[in-house]
Amino acid sequence: MNKLIGFSLLLISSFSFAKMDIIPLQQTSEGHLEIQASINGVQGTFIVDTGATGTVIDLNQLAKFGLQKNDEPMVGIRSGDKDSGTIETFTVDLKSFSVSGHKVNISRVYTNNAAEQFEANIVGLIGQDALTELGALLDLNIPRLLIPESPEDLKKLLGDSQAPEYETIQLQRSDMGFSFVDITLNHHELRLLIDSGASETVMDQSVLLQLGFALDQHPTAKSIVAEGIELPMTVLSGTTITLGKAQLKGDFFASDFSALMQTINQDQQRLFVGVLGNKQLVELGSIIDLSTRKLYIKH
């Protein structure tokens, strides 16, 4: 597959005259979004992952960038149960960090083996920390990152305030830094993590069963958990997810999110049950702005 190297352009829309830098992204056959980044002057291919609170470099790729992990481990959380959903994580100190030529003022990121579930050329994840520091919007329509020159350029991109092209949905933020969107699944009020690192929307199968939904075994789909173990996935067929005024109708995958649910969910809040992935974010014509915690859905 030919790789598209990210580069910066000046976008001047003939419709809105919005000025901003564009960083094109390459969508893989698995539905992930690739971008080029430089760590300590060394280039690598990363996944743009709004579901990761911090940028992550694969543990097996540290030598490529001349890096060493710090001594004290911490516990990272991912999909899976209480055992497979935890991952040993370390901090890493950087000398320099840039994304497609844009300097990122972050000197400490993380390392673990989470990137092993992605394509073989992937060396890590560009997380919320870097996207927020850049002030970048993730446009799933193209796909690309957009960096406005000013707040006014963002308004021009999104359309006239009297007749906006996009519906604005406020994202919720957890104490750990995850960004969620409130949804209705049939008549159940729930919450999904905005996750560009996931190719599909996936929800916790135990919760879906408790809510009375029927699940079928999917013939081929599997989720990858600790040590590369593949687990069969189930599917929720013919249902509707509503967010804002938009509706997503179809079949949705189900897996085990108990580790994340145990860590994230709090009393008096909507129940977090899974992730809203790229396929559905594209269907919604989404632009994600993590800096202001807003999801823009095209009318």
Cα dihedral 81, 140, 289, 23 in deg (nearest 10) = 110
| End-to-end alpha carbon distance in the chain | 33
Burial class (CB in 10 A: 0-12, 13-18, 19+), 178: buried
Task: List pLDDT tens digits, range 157-192.
Answer: 777 666 578 899 999 998 888 999 999 999 999 999
Task: List pLDDT tens digits, range 7-58.
Answer: 333 343 333 456 789 999 999 888 899 999 999 999 999 999 999 999 999 9
Q: Which H helix or E strand runs over 217?
A: strand 215-224
Q: Which residue has the tokens 């992204």?
A: 25
Segments of 8-160 assigned E as strands = 9-12, 19-24, 26-27, 33-39, 42-48, 56-58, 74-77, 86-93, 97-99, 102-103, 108-112, 122-126, 137-139, 144-148
pTM as predicted: 0.88
